Amino acid sequence: MLRFWSLLVLLAFGFAQEITVLTHSSFSLDKGLIAQFERETGLKLRFLKGGDAGETLNRAILTKGAPIADVIYGFDNTFLSRALEADILLPYRSPEIRNLKATLLLDPTFRALPVDYGWVSLNYHRAYFKDRPLPKIPADLARPEYARLLVVQNPATSSPGLAFLMATVARFGEDGYLDFWARLRDGGVRVAKGWSEAYYTHFTLYKGDRPLVVSYTTSPAAEVYYSEGKYQEPPTGNLFPELAFFQVEFVGVLKGTKNLEGARKVVDWFLSKPVQENIPTEMWMYPARRDAKLPEVFRFAPEPVGSVRLDPKAMAENRERWIEEWTKVVLQGQSPEAVRRGRR
């Protein structure tokens, strides 16, 4: 009864304001942390899951006139330019910025603030490759005996898929990446719509028929963490740091929010130490804060040495073309030669 009256009082004075956070579908944080934030601020948090990271951002762009949320979390560096160009975010110099790793501050206008980072990377199923040789160099993947074992995501509909495509551009260059993909195609690579379909349906660890999958460098650690003692060592491993792609996920205040104050508090909260230290075992990304401690299980997720990066400007300018060219070669079976000719 007391709770009812205090709720009524809160409502009457407008304290229990709701803040809506638009996130990608993989969003997850400790319930206790969320409850604590709500207690301390009097704000009520609501999380809306908008699908894949790119899809979520597009939702925000398409509803620009009447924003569906106050805060957006989860769009990454491959989509950063789209978010900034669409002008859906308000600048916010959070006091927490000074605690963040400087290399992650990719938006000088402070509209998109980094929350976490990680690497999209090839995973292999250890048990499958126990008595079989692993591919030795990235180009080996295109050989028929390995292409037939690989499942990737469609870069048009999946952000890890797009990251892996960009990794191949960074690794093989504008001239070579289409040849690599054409050979993967001929070798029998499978294309899934999104990460969860690739990982949970086609990957041999989950009774699929593909022992090589595009996932994250932290996935092996996650397997140990969730196995409840079944695994002492990860059942999967990372392949080819030189094909791992650096990803940063951002948070931002959506233009048109009715509660600017509250939205900013949520951004500060995302960057606060407790949330940052919760992110690794909830979303399997590395915290953006310098002083956040990593959980013990992250010893199975070493940072890849020699991973590839692309210049954000190059990504912004070429993203659509790369996706289009990839579609032409892999889904539609055109020759890389013809596609390159079409550029001119």
Among 17, 81, 259, 327, binds other proteins (CB under 8 A): 327
| Contact by Cβ (8 Å): 179, 336 | yes
Q: How far apart are CA 293 and CA 314, in angstroms?
A: 33
Phi, psi of 316 (to 5 degrees): -65, -40
Residue with smaller CB distance to other proteins, 292 or 323: 323
Instruction: Kindly identify the residues of this chain, within the stretch 172-201, that bind other proteins according to CB under 8 A.
Output: 191, 193-194, 196-197, 200-201
- Contact status: 35 vs other proteins (CB under 8 A): no
Beta carbon of residue 230, minimum distance to other proteins (angstroms, whole number): 18
Beta carbon of residue 202, minimum distance to other proteins (angstroms, whole number): 9
**First-to-last C-alpha distance (Å) of the chain:** 73
- Contact status: 305 vs other proteins (CB under 8 A): no
Which residues are CB-neighbours of 27 under 8 A, at least 6 positions away?
A: 47, 49, 73, 74, 283
Residue with smaller CB distance to other proteins, 260 or 331: 331
Among 12, 66, 102, 305, binds other proteins (CB under 8 A): 66
Q: How far apart are CA 92 and CA 261, in angstroms?
A: 11
Residue with smaller CB distance to other proteins, 31 or 98: 31
| Contact by Cβ (8 Å): 300, 236 | no
| Closest alpha carbon to 220 in 201, 239, 207, 202 | 239
Beta carbon of residue 68, minimum distance to other proteins (angstroms, whole number): 5
Among 10, 16, 34, 61, binds other proteins (CB under 8 A): 61
Q: CA-based diameter of the chain, in Å?
A: 74
Binding string to other proteins for residues 80 to 119, with x set by CB under 8 A, is what?
Answer: --x-------------------------------------
Beta carbon of residue 105, minimum distance to other proteins (angstroms, whole number): 26
Segment contacting other proteins by CB under 8 A, of 33-41, 65-73, 140-148, 271-279: 65-73
**Which residues, in sequence order, are bridge partners of residue 76?**
249
Q: Rounded to the nearest 5 degrees, what angle is found at the Cα of 31, between the Cα atoms of 161 and 269?
A: 75
- Contact status: 64 vs other proteins (CB under 8 A): yes
3-state SS, 284-299, equals CCEECECCCCCCHHHH
- Contact status: 52 vs other proteins (CB under 8 A): yes
Residue with smaller CB distance to other proteins, 8 or 331: 331
Q: Which amino acid is located at 53 in the chain?
A: A
Phi, psi of 319 (to 5 degrees): -50, -55
Interface residues with other proteins (CB under 8 A) are 22, 25, 48-52, 54-55, 58-59, 61-68, 82, 154, 156-157, 191, 193-194, 196-197, 200-201, 320, 323-324, 327-328, 331-332, 334
